[in-house]
Amino acid sequence: MAVKVRERPKGSGIYWIFIDHLGKRKSKKVGRDKRLAQEAAKKIEAKLALGEFELDKQLSPTVTEYAKQWLSSLHNTWSPGTRKNYSGAFRLHIEPELGSKRLDEVARMDVKSFIGNLKNKGLSTGRMETILQALRGMFNEAVDDGVISFSPCQRMGRYSGGSKSKKRIDPLTADELAELLDNALRELNFVLYVLFLLAARSGLRIGEILALEWSDVDFKNRTVSVHKSWDYLRQQSRSTKNKKPRKVDLTPMTIEALRRLRTNSKVVALHIFVDDRGERLSYKMVYSALQKVARRPVRIHDLRHTYATLRVAKGDNIVDVSNQLGHHDPGFTLKKYAHWMPGEHKAQVDQLDMIATGRNLSATMKHD
């Protein structure tokens, strides 16, 4: 038998009672009074010893109770937008259906039913995935805190269609990209041409590009420092997606285009990609311009995919490609763009026969 008081999450000032008795585990949030939690724990321990405490009654917090703690936790390093989306998911969808249930009462069947109801509401697959990410995240945290022993959200992707909702990677071919850049140089303002050239030659995200300042460009070493991103929905700067700054190599053509843009600019501005009034370009303007010069519908993010797939297709070092893109792990890059890996590697496979692994097979075959 064990009754313990723990602060969850650590540093939050919120105390829980955790009970482990006869193979059963339960927990209950007490609040910010540690002494009160310790006194309650002693009473529960005494009643358990006398057999006067029913462990199955109201110890696990409700979904609403635990969600409030999870959403307000400072240990979750979400962007303001993600926190807002998760809070909305709980307020509008999760709490009305599951909020009154204790965490240990929510079964897989409840989650399946919840997913079905989301589908009936006609929500987009993207919105559904955000809601389920929030629900999964909360239950995973509860498992990690020892509040519950397993998450009822495990392996629910096949019911939600989450894996199918991801947008397909649709990069441009080398010829399509060349045509797009030619059209941009001929038909658009030079600043937009440079933006599209930079996106396709560096793999930067559009938010990272719009956040760039002239001081970020190292013309001598042909690099650009990426340490923040522009949130065009909330009109504010934030950290990059993986929260880490990076230096990205630029091609000679790209650095020369940036040099010309700075020299010929009619306005003096802190940021690189601004209009004639010195105001930052809007996402809507950039997207509209891209559709004018592309031979088929293209997302701005497809220029990033184009950079990655062209490099992977020519056999470039996947670690370098991953670092340039700002991915958290080269394995993620490899998995994402594996379809574009070159297949002309028979010679490399043949070289395996040159490795000494005992008797030479060719010689063996001659003797047979």
Q: The domain spanning residue 306 has which CATH number?
A: 1.10.443.10
Q: Do residues 113 and 184 share a domain?
A: no
Q: Do residues 42 and 68 share a domain?
A: no
* Residue finishing a domain among 138, 165, 192: 165
Q: Do residues 231 and 315 share a domain?
A: yes
* 361 falls within a domain: no
Would you call 245 helix, strand, or coil by DSSP?
coil
pLDDT at 238 over 90: no
Lowest mean pLDDT among 121-125, 213-217, 233-237, 296-300: 233-237
Q: List the domain range (segments joined by +) for residue 42.
A: 2-50
* 357 falls within a domain: no
* Residue finishing a domain among 123, 147, 165: 165
Q: Do residues 24 and 156 share a domain?
A: no
Q: Do residues 84 and 142 share a domain?
A: yes
Q: Do residues 160 and 208 share a domain?
A: no
144: which 2 tokens? 């990690």
Q: What is the pLDDT of residues 95-107, one digit of tens each?
A: 999 999 988 889 8
The one-letter amino acid at 109: M
Place of tokens 């303002």: 189
Q: Do residues 326 and 218 share a domain?
A: yes
Terminal-to-terminal C-alpha distance of the chain:
71
Confidence at 118, pLDDT banded by 50, 70, 90: confident
pLDDT of residue 161: 59
Q: Do residues 187 and 322 share a domain?
A: yes
Among 307, 341, 338, 339, residue whose Cα is nearest residue 323: 307
pLDDT of residue 30: 65
pTM as predicted: 0.57
The one-letter amino acid at 315: G
The one-letter amino acid at 353: D
* 57 falls within a domain: no
* 70 falls within a domain: yes
Q: How many domains is the chain partitioned into structurally?
A: 3
Mean residue pLDDT of the chain comes to 82
pLDDT of residue 223: 95
Confidence at 344, pLDDT banded by 50, 70, 90: very low
Q: How far is CA 154 from the centre of its chain?
A: 19
pLDDT of residue 364: 45
**Top mean-pLDDT range of 8-12, 119-123, 257-261:** 257-261
* 364 falls within a domain: no
Q: Do residues 140 and 277 share a domain?
A: no
CA Rg value for the chain: 28
Q: Do residues 146 and 106 share a domain?
A: yes
* 130 falls within a domain: yes
CATH code for position 143:
1.10.150.130
The one-letter amino acid at 258: L
* 254 falls within a domain: yes
Q: Do residues 183 and 290 share a domain?
A: yes
Q: Do residues 159 and 29 share a domain?
A: no
* 55 falls within a domain: no
Contacts of 221 (CB under 8 A, 6+ apart): none
